[in-house]
Structure 1
Amino acid sequence: MTETTNAPGNDAHRTPEPDVAPPTTLLLVDGSSYLYRAYHALPDLRGPDNFPTGALHGMVSMLTRLRAQFPAVHAACVFDAPGRTFRDDLYPEYKANRASMPEPLAQQIKPIHEVVRLLGWPVLEVPGIEADDVIGTLARTVAARGGKVVISTGDKDLAQLVDEQVVLINTMSNESLDIAGVQAKFGVPPGRIVDYLTLIGDTVDNVPGVEKVGPKTAAKWLAEHGSLDGVVAAASGIKGVAGENLRKALDWLPMGRELVTIRTDCDLAAHVAGWPGEDAMTALHFAEPDNAALLDFYARYGFKTLRRELEARMSATRQMFASADEPFAEGRGDPAQPAVGAGESAKVEGSYETVTTWERLDHWLQRLQAAPLAALDTETDSLDPMHARIVGISFALQAHEAAYVPLAHNYADAPDQLPLDEVLARLKPWLEDAAAGKIGQNVKYDTHVLANHGIHVRGWRHDTLLQSYVLEAHLTHSLEKLADRHLGRKGLSYEDICGKGAKQIPFAQVDVQTATTYSGEDSEMVLDLHRVLWPQIEQQPAAAPGLRYVYEQIELPTSEVLQRIERHGVLVDAAALARQSQQLAERMMALEQEAYEIAGQPFNLGSPKQIGEILFNRLGLPVQKKTASGAPSTDEEVLEKLAADYPLPARLLEHRSLSKLKGTYTDKLPLMINPNTGRVHTNYAQAVAVTGRLSSNDPNLQNIPIRTPEGRRVREAFIAPEGHVIASADYSQIELRIMAHISEDPGLLAAFAEGRDVHRATAAEVFGVALDQVRNEQRRYAKVINFGLIYGMGAFGLASNLGIDQKAAKNYIDRYFDRFAGVKRYMDETRASAAERGYVETLFGRRIVLPEIQGGSGPRRAAAERQAINAPMQGTAADLIKLAMIAVQAEIDRSAKATRIVMQVHDELVFEVPEAEVDWVRTEVPRLMAGVAQLKVPLLAEVGLGPNWDKAH
């Protein structure tokens, strides 16, 4: 949040100097917690001479990602030192039941400390003092001086340190705990965590609590009595077994409290130079990674991938500095400027001018016309891009300085504003100038908004939303989150100025001065973010594979094509949908009557409780599983199992399916037709799925069911206007082709190269029969195996899908891997590589981060391993369809065709085609789609045509 300065007629607006230095941020890592998590998260990896390296890999990956995510200036990685501490003297049984460190992990401790230092982290290991106490002392000392502290740990004990200055983060679960977060998680505030831990005890450290008192009881007692002392004082009146156990533990509780209390006054003078004075922070300063030594370390321990990546980064950095004279306005960040520390989100004073005269508008327009890159942001009266009208517009040419032009604020006593239409007319030549470089956050929205006013913006160079998406797809990409994460800045939020819920006011009623600050911040923060994000992308190779290629050649042009698809919309037959709704309602009524007759009584088909009573109490059907409350479950999985043997669950499933279809599509789609265009205009969210797939919403056109006749009929309502047809073009078996390319399996490569039915070819191999002897049932099994394995399916999943026992399913999988050894090798190598790096990549270089693969629980890690196998294929397929969309649109423009892309659905493009251009689409679109990439197998795209979407298949 910043103050607004209206600067009258001065070109050299300067950001005021702050009155005090910004607060220091100290990033502390609980190294002992990290190394155990790294050891247990990864498989038993081995380097040269069979030396264990799993924990080493994990530590390097975790600390590298943490430093990138929280780029603080000051930090320390704190480890427990071997030997006794004061707690062992207080209580000889302290940690007595803890197993000794596994030998493979013990062997890695020394090299772990070495590589942590090489990565630039100050390392602390203080004899006689546990890591928690070192962290506690550092945190309290820095916080007492007004600094911020971020502690990365998975240890709940450290929650007692949280206050206004100190937060905990858990990178494994993406959890962040401030004061409110601690209260929400544990049911007590940070100041009561010691009392809470005293009551429940700590089994890991062998610190007894009150017998049979768990987290809920402890939190309840502390809420009722205020503190542990209050609980002790009330012990005689606490009833039940818990109260009796509390009274038994009264003599122990003081000792327990001392054992779980983290010390915050340790003497660190021998280990932190200058301690405890101000100069101590110099000793806790991040160093630059020692890249030369790291290369040697990686070679010594067999880190081939990390060594290659580091060599590539070093080469890219040399090239970047060789051309360091490129100006910032063209996108080059200052490589010598340190990143802002995590947790330093703070107010930044800015110079924001409210433009209300033609003289000042012309002044800013001259500056915009001369600038190589300008940020642009529109403020509107709606979030719907097709209907939004402009309330105001802001511009920025550098960080911390911006101008806001209010145009339609209409509250009482609102100042005079320049006329909207005339202002836009004066800005239009610059906005439509392709040579005038522009940048924004989610530029697709601003392009729509200005198109609503007859302006077709050109010259978009960058989009910070897409920069973030390419660099960190697994995180959120709102401007507020990006500014906090990368700049340490906090600005005004929409809710801050407009309110929430029923009391929220439209932007047009926001005070102009406040709007100037809000919009000005948005524009200039975009430039500030660009300074941080773009250099990270720019240093990547411009050609595939690489993040720069993904950003410049895939995401940016895709955004432009999507805007055009959304703008044109797709024609929908409202009358046909109304007829379908009526038919669905009639069938649903019939199903209700059938259900009543089977049940022997009427009941609410939408009530899980009543359904459960009918199925399991009245009809006595077997219970399949239970809900968390212990009631028999009636979810879809249960009903599908029961439907195989009983009629009522089958009726219920059909009723649910029709009800969803009616409510989501046949009733709703007609209401979403734009009255100005007669079409439906979906919104394609580009920065949502980590794999690169698009997400369609308002309405969602990607989830219309196609496996039922009723679902397919919905597609009949998507029609072509008179004189046109609908064309559907999609890739044939795209993910299997990508699997063949990536795995280089000879059998799959040959099947696709020769144009054979790949499922029939797979069946011939798995079942050991000649190709022409494969039965339809065998081909069906092979198809399930082919698609199941690329989604990481195991024997259990295959058995469930095919309705066979697990032993038979395992035999099929084993036979498949015997015949297609390349696929097995790809899967094994991909799991190991993903576990080492924490991510996988598409063929074009899109990076898909898998947080759970290095630190998740067993089931979560297994799910991440399955995702690691599939994500490169799904992500590559997403990249290919985007490249296809770009290539086809470019050819449509080049050859001045009237054909329009009207939808993108998974691996399919849907077109509205004039009858005169049918032959062109039939021949050129498959050629263009097949030509966007050269794989080791041919890409094949197929086109169907018809009067509506369904008939085009």
Structure 2
Amino acid sequence: MKRLVLIDGSSYLFRAFHALPPLTNADGEPTGALFGVVNMLRATLKEQPDCVAFVLDASGPTFRDELYPEYKANRPPMPEDLRAQIDPMIAIVQALGFPLLRVPGVEADDVIGTLALQAAEAGMEVTISTSDKDFAQLVRPGIALVNTMSGSRLDSDEAVIAKFGVRPDQIIDYLAIMGDSVDNVPGVEKWGPKTTAKWLVEHDSLDGICANADAIKGKAGEHFRAAMSRLPLNRQLVTIKTDVALDAGPDTLALRERDADSLRGLYARYGFNQALKELDAVTGEPAAAAAGKSAVSTPAPDSALASPGQYKAVLTSSQLQALLDELQGAGQFAFDTETDSLDPLQANLVGLSFCVHPGEAVYIPLAHDYPGAPPQLEMAATLAALKPVLEDPQRRKLGQHGKYDLHVLGRHGIDVQGYDDDTMLQSFVLNSTASRHDMDSLAKRYLGYDTIKYADVAGKGAKQIPFSHVALDDATRYAAEDADITLRLYRVLSAQLASQPALENVYRSIEMPLVQVLRRIEGNGVRIDMDELRRQSADLSKRMLAAQQKATELAGRSFNLDSLKQLQALLFDELGLPALVKTPKGQPSTNEEALEAIADQHELPRVILEYRGLAKLRSTYTDKLPEMINPDTGRVHTSYHQAGAATGRLSSSDPNLQNIPIRTDDGRRIRQAFVAPPGRKLIACDYSQIELRIMAHLSDDPGLVRAFESGADVHKATAAEVFGKSIDQVSGNERRAAKAINFGLMYGMSAFGLARQLGIGRGEAQDYIALYFSRYPGVRDFMERTRQQAREQGYVETVFGRRLYLEYIHKGTAGQKAGAERAAINAPMQGTAADIIKRAMIDVDGWLAAHRDRALMIMQVHDELVFEADQDFVDVLVAEVVQRMSSAAQLNVPLVVDTGVGDNWDQAH
């Protein structure tokens, strides 16, 4: 059987341009998109198809413009860097021998659609090479879609259904309803992929949905009915034409003989070293003979990135000017700062490093003050010279954990703009669990490169010296290497992200925009009432002393409550309590879980737990927070970590805001010390039961969805459903049981765990779970479906495409596998919740830009955002924030935001 490959050239050119780094050749000509397309063409040639065509859009209007004059009206003009790569691309396509097709009056999609159907009807096996979802309407026996960049393949009804939720013959209606913002085809408002697929599955077609439009309840129905009149036109616009009059049929599209001389010149000119080597291997001619003076100086992305670099110190004005000229001419560069502190809001700058080309980097020392240190450039003048390029949004910057560097430079008067890439976040999005995401670990993992460690140049422990005392030669090697390795890592990681569009979208649309948002939140800080904390510390100390005295009475002797060894001897040897939890070495444990397990057998474990809780609050918060107040701002500034929790949740440190207890009186008292300044209020905006709402969305269980849509107490509604009662008849214990099941299932709670939480027998708990699943079968199906996906793929995904890889889903002990399955259930919900609040933060921060004198976003804690605002601006802020948080995702159930206002954080709850 003959094979025909139809290449959607327009799709791949745009995809490669936006996915790959902004590469240039030695003459500064852009090559990034060209590089992606050439690699795709080389891969196609290796498959040796019988017939092939490279199809591009022709210039001029098409029949769709006549149908709808606004078609593609919103498209911005083509970037000049992309336009410059079209002619070279065409030259390479033709030199490779690919037939090139451009037909006026129609789009490339229509040409491909026509040829695909003609070829399939003639018995040929057709592959459409594209990243455009519209082509899914053509999938049928003999026609498959392959995305060369992501490696995905759609070749059956089942594959299309798995990706879109509908059959190939429903894709046209699916696209008509969804619309296409890129082509300026408006769809049904707030009908996302899941909603569209749901109604098409129920009514089979757009016509079927229209016939039953009055039966669609709520906002979904209102939005659909409002859009019905334009949907027939949408359907015409998204339908790929399959009857275009063509001069040539599919059997005439044989690959022509390549023009090796032209190819060699083109490859050499644009720096495609690997393609050049491949060509020479085929033709038997050396690359150097043809390359001549056109050979590039910038290494191609597929060159080795593990060799040592060449680094220089910038010590004179002329060297600085040469660097500035290079940075001004660069499309992108990596940078790093060296300082005297780990706290970016108090750190003083010691020097900066820059890298434009992998393997070549410089270090600008500014404050090395050891005896005999050579003269260095004056700091103020140097920063003034660097400020324009660092603040120019057109000069793209990248870093490794760059939020720190943005803070440091901001403290020194430079507001960095154009910070577009961060290798720590690239690694985290690619696989949050694969390794640590610090530079040393990433260099070893992705480059096979052992970096110079800080201790190698500054020493460690008591003998460690500040970086300003590090000898300049050592400092240059260490600091310049940081910038160099960052750029090398970027070359590797960006290519990996480009091959996985869903992950790249998480990185581009969520993680990178969030960097500047978190920088502002951290910089804003929060005001602390030190007098209130002193009072709380005194009270906690008294209560700790009372707990110690009580423990001594119960033990019958004095002992050190902070000594694990003494506790082990007292609890398990003297009192004879059972050791229900063991340490990894097999010793009786005295951790919180172990003490909770025996707290019903003796009063002493409960008193020890009380003592520990009080001690932790005092040492972590009431004693510690006053020490963390920044002397320059008078506020406490936490640090948020984007590459911490594997699910994408933000964590924080110094102080850890996420761990302040919310359900205890003492935790709420600590929140009373977080206060608004005079004339202002604190406002807390908190998602209500967001993970449970996400479970309702992911499972699409009608009962659970209905419970949220009703707006009633969801736990009461669940109890009413499970126990077959009206909401008014639900008892407190029944609501408690329903709540425990609702939340417990998300964390993989067993019948044993539920029994212990509710204080009931295991059999009764198992009956509760069975009854729950009988009422909510969609939840059970979702959980099983997710476990199966985890076993098949090794990972699960959030609504937005973030992945959590599960290391132990196929290996390890039975306990590790069970833990991986529990994580598989919880991660899509917890990860989606993390994505949602991050999207909300980005949106809210954008709105706040015009109101920063009236209001600030000052904290993010779990599912809550906290603001500080002028009293007369509170109502405006609440309305805007609630609207933005509620619309941060389109779920099958409403996103509800609870708000509170007060003089302190506790009052705002």
Under a length normalisation based on structure 1, what TM-score does the superposition of the two structures give? 0.64
Cα distance in 2, alignment partners of residues 552 and 469 from structure 1: 13
**2:614 corresponding residue in structure 1:** 658
Listed one character per residue, the Cα deviations across residues 759-787 of structure 1 (whole Å, up to 9, x for unaligned) are: 11111122222221100110011000000
CA distance in structure 2 between the aligned counterparts of 1:327 and 1:390, rounded to whole angstroms: 43
Correspondence for 1:735? 691
Query: Which letter maps to 1:519?
Result: A
Q: Is the 8 A contact 1:346 1:490 kept in 2?
A: no
Match of 1:499 in 2: 459
Which of 416, 423, 435 aligns to 1:457? It is 416
Structure 1 window deviating more from structure 2 (417-426 vs 891-900): it is: 891-900
User: Is 1:350 aligned to residue 309 of structure 2?
Assistant: yes
Q: Secondary structure at the match of 1:634?
A: coil
Is 1:558 aligned to residue 517 of structure 2? no
Hey, what does 2:728 align to over in structure 1? 772
Name the SS for the 2:658 alignment partner.
coil
8 Å CA contact retained: 1:729, 1:910: yes
1:26 is matched with none
Q: CA separation in 2, counterparts of 1:833 and 1:750?
A: 26
SS across alignment from 2:342 = coil
Question: 1: distance between equivalents of 2:544 and 2:877?
Answer: 41
1:407–1:333 Cα change, 3 Å: farther
Q: Quote the residue 2:69 is aligned against.
A: none
Distance in 2 between residues matched to 1:727 and 1:336, nearest whole Å: 61
1:830 aligns with 2:786: yes
Mark the CA change 1:358 to 1:832 in structure 2 (over 3 Å): closer, same or farther. same
2:484 is aligned with 1:524: yes
Deviation, structure 1 residue 524? 2.0
1:540 CA drift (Å)? 4.2
- Secondary structure, counterpart of 2:892 in structure 1: coil
Higher relative contact order (CA 8 A, sep 6+): 1
Amino acid at match of 1:942: D
Give the SS at the match of 1:353: strand
Q: Contact (CA 8 Å) 2:305, 2:488: kept in 1 or not?
A: no
Cα shift readout 1:324-379 (whole Å, capped 9, x = no counterpart): x9999x999989999x9xxx999624332211111111111112112111111111
2:855 is aligned with 1:899: yes
Return the match for 2:893 from 937, 940, 943: 937
Corresponding residue for residue 813 of structure 1: 769
CA contact (8 A) 1:745 1:820 kept: yes
Query: What residue in structure 2 maps to residue 635 of structure 1?
Result: 591
Change (3 A) 1:629 1:861: closer
1:710 maps to 666
Q: Does 1:848 align with 2:804?
A: yes
Are residues 1:859 and 2:818 paired?
A: no
Distance in 2 (alpha carbons) for counterparts of 1:337 and 1:575: 72
Contact 2:306–2:448 (Cα < 8 Å) also in 1: no
Q: How far, CA to CA, are the matches of 1:902 and 1:509 in structure 2?
A: 36
Deviates more, 1:467-476 or 1:619-628: 619-628
Q: Distance in 2 between matches of 1:332 and 1:629?
A: 56
- CA 1:573–1:327 in 2, change beyond 3 Å: closer, same or farther? farther
Say whether the 8 Å CA contact 2:349–2:366 is kept in structure 1. yes
Deviation at 1:951, TM superposition (A): 1.0
Query: 1:302 Cα shift?
Result: 9.8
- Aligned amino acid, residue 496 of structure 1: D
* Partner in structure 1 of residue 391 of structure 2: 432
Deviations 1:655-674 (A, max 9, x none): 11111111111111111111
- CA displacement at 1:820 relative to structure 2: 0.4
Question: How far is 1:625 from its partner?
Answer: 4.8
2:757 is equivalent to residue 797 of structure 1 = no
- Take 2:743 and 2:277, find their aligned partners in 1: how far apart are those partners? 49
Deviation at 1:584, TM superposition (A): 0.7
Is the 8 Å Cα contact of residues 715 and 950 (structure 1) preserved in structure 2? yes
Structure 1 position 626, deviation (Å): 5.2
CA displacement, residues 67-120 of structure 1 (integer Å, 9 cap, x when unaligned) = xxxxxxxxxxxxxxxxxxxxxxxxxxxxxxxxxxxxxxxxxxxxxxxxxxxxxx
Contact 2:267 2:276 in 1 (8 A): no
Structure 1 residues 683-694: aligned runs within 5 Å: 683-694=639-650
For 2:333, give the aligned amino acid. A
- Shift of the alpha carbon at 1:487? 2.1
Equivalent residue letter for 2:739: K
Partner of residue 473 from structure 1, selected from 416, 420, 432: 432
Contact 2:394 2:418 in 1 (8 A): yes
Cα 1:448–1:333 change in 2 (3 A) is farther
1:950 aligns with 2:909: no
* Structure 1 residues 782 and 400, CA gap change in structure 2 (3 angstroms): same
Q: Would you say how many aligned residue pairs link Structure 1 and Structure 2?
A: 643
> How has the CA–CA distance of structure 1 residues 617 and 540 changed in structure 2, closer, same or farther, with 3 Å as cutoff?
closer
SS of 2:810's partner is helix
Structure 2 CA distance for aligned equivalents of residues 336 and 788 of structure 1 = 59
Q: How far 1:412 sits from its partner (Å)? A: 2.2
| Preserved CA contact (<8 Å) 1:331 1:531 | no
1:418 counterpart residue number: 377
The answer as to whether partners of 1:347 and 1:491 remain within 8 angstroms in 2 is no
Provide the residue aligned with 2:450 in structure 1: 490
Q: Deviations over 1:428-468 (max 9, x none)?
A: 12111222211111110110110121111111111111111
**Using the alignment, how far apart are the partners of 1:377 and 1:701 within structure 2?**
28
Rate the CA distance shift 1:688–1:635 in 2: closer, same or farther, 3 A. closer
Secondary structure of 1:852's aligned partner: coil
Secondary structure of the structure 1 residue equivalent to 2:312:
strand
Residue 378 of structure 1 aligns to a residue whose secondary structure is strand
Q: Is the 8 A contact 1:727 1:946 kept in 2?
A: yes
Distance 1:302 1:810, change over 3 A: farther
Quote the Cα distance in structure 2 between the aligned partners of 1:765 and 1:913: 42
Change (3 A) 1:688 1:427: same
Look up the match of 2:738.
782
In the superposition, relative to structure 1, how do residues 380 and 891 fare at CA in structure 2: closer, same or farther (>3 Å)? same
Shift of 1:622: 5.0
Shift of 1:572: 0.8
CA 1:909–1:326 in 2, change beyond 3 Å: closer, same or farther?
farther
Q: 1:331 touches 1:530 (CA, 8 Å); kept in 2?
A: no
Decide which of 626, 629, 636 is 1:670's aligned counterpart: 626
Aligned alpha-carbon RMSD (Å): 3.3
CA shift for structure 1 position 842: 0.4
Q: Does 1:385 align with 2:347?
A: no
Alpha-carbon separation, structure 2, partners of 1:823 and 1:362? 64
Q: In structure 1, what is the Cα distance between the partners aligned to 2:538 and 2:761?
A: 43
Q: For 1:301-450, what aligned pairs fall within 5 Å after superposition?
A: 348-450=307-409
CA change 1:381–1:626 in 2 (3 A) is closer
* Partner residue, 1:874: 830
Unmatched segments (≥5 aa) in structure 1: 1-10, 14-288, 312-324
Q: 1:34 — aligned with what?
A: none
**CA-to-aligned-CA distance 1:275-315 (integer Å, 9 cap, x gap):** xxxxxxxxxxxxxx9999x999998999997999xx9xxxx
Identity %: 51
- In the TM superposition, what is the alpha-carbon distance from 1:490 to its structure 2 partner? 2.5
For 1:380 and 1:334, locate their aligned partners in 2 and report how far apart those are by CA, in whole Å: 40
Mapped partners of 1:327, 1:529: distance in 2: 24
Q: C-alpha deviations, 1:394-434, integer Å up to 9, x for none? A: 11111111121111111222111111111001111211122
How far is 1:612 from its partner?
4.0
Counterpart check, 1:889 vs 2:845: yes
1:608 Cα deviation (Å)? Answer: 3.1
| Structure 2 gap segments, 5+ residues each | 1-25, 29-145, 169-264, 279-298
Tell me the distance in 2 between the aligned counterparts of 1:652 and 1:331.
68
Report the AA paired with residue 470 of structure 1.
Answer: V
